[in-house]
Structure 1
Amino acid sequence: MKEELKGPKVEGISVAVAFETAETGDRIYNVYLLNKTADTLENVLVSSKGYGVNAMTEEKIETSVLRHSLGDVAPQKAQKIEPIMEQVFGLSNEYWISYWIGNKMYDKKFVFLAETITEQNAIDLPLLECTGVMLGE
């Protein structure tokens, strides 16, 4: 019974923080959902938040929870979720993705741990023509 409650396994879906360059030449950061499957993701919903602890004061820090409706995401496509500020890279940044394929609902949580969104962890991102940090397959 516990297995039934887990829902279907999420495969071929990733969340990435892309390191991009604005028209002004400044470095900007955007979060993307990458659909590397052969299926259209239907009615995609994303909630995002950041959280952590101030090392000096040991005070808990939380950002606002943001909710995004991305609609449908075509196969082998990337969809921008939101811009992200460099100031929150010191927090854990969580993205909870929910979507439908046919009559099955899928959901998965992706968490960029504090201080992991860095140049040292950057890779060439699939479906995007830039580098960044990716979670998922």
Structure 2
Amino acid sequence: MKKDINIPQVKDVHVAVVQEQHIEYKTLDWNAYIINNSDNDLETVLIVSRGYNDKKLTPLMRHTIAKLPARSYAKIEYLQEKVLELNNEFKITFFEGNQMFDKSYLFRKNTINEKALQTLPLMQLRGILVK
């Protein structure tokens, strides 16, 4: 029966972490974004994030985006400096048409740093990308 279940592969949907200037507090903050680099709108996007290692576990954070248009991106959450020392996982479930998709994105501990910055698709910013 398991062989009959079709689990489609997620393509062109990414999670990125970007370091941005906070206008009010004049600080550099790390923010997580979801990027829809596909030609289709994503509907009912559910995001569950957490940070963890062998000794620590953050509470689960849950986010919902009703619709993420094609070739766009949306902010997920702010990441505190202490959380960057942990593995940061984002589990994303969404609908594209009538098909449900699901994928986990993992930023390993200490991989979110200025040395890892690269050019991000669509955003015209530099950040750390997980495909």
TM-score band by shorter chain is over 0.9
Q: Following superposition, which runs of at least 4 residues in structure 1 exceed 6 angstroms of deviation?
A: none
2:57 to 62, 77, 90: 62
| 1:18-57 map, 5 Å | 18-23=18-23, 24-53=25-54
**1:88 corresponds to 2:97:** no
Gaps of 5+ in 1: 54-59
TM-score (norm 1): 0.89
Note the alpha carbon deviations across 1:13-64, whole angstroms, 9 max, x for none: 10000111111431011100000000000110000001003xxxxxx20000
2:126 counterpart residue number: 131
Distance in 2, matches of 1:3 and 1:36, equals 30
1:76 counterpart residue number: 71
Note the alpha carbon deviations across 1:63-104, whole angstroms, 9 max, x for none: 000111111100010111111111111100000000001110
Identity of aligned residues (%): 34
Aligned-CA RMSD value: 1.3
Pair 1:39–1:119, CA change in 2 (3 A): same
1:112 counterpart residue number: 107
TM-score (norm 2): 0.93
Count of residues in correspondence between the two structures = 130
Gaps of 5+ in 2: none
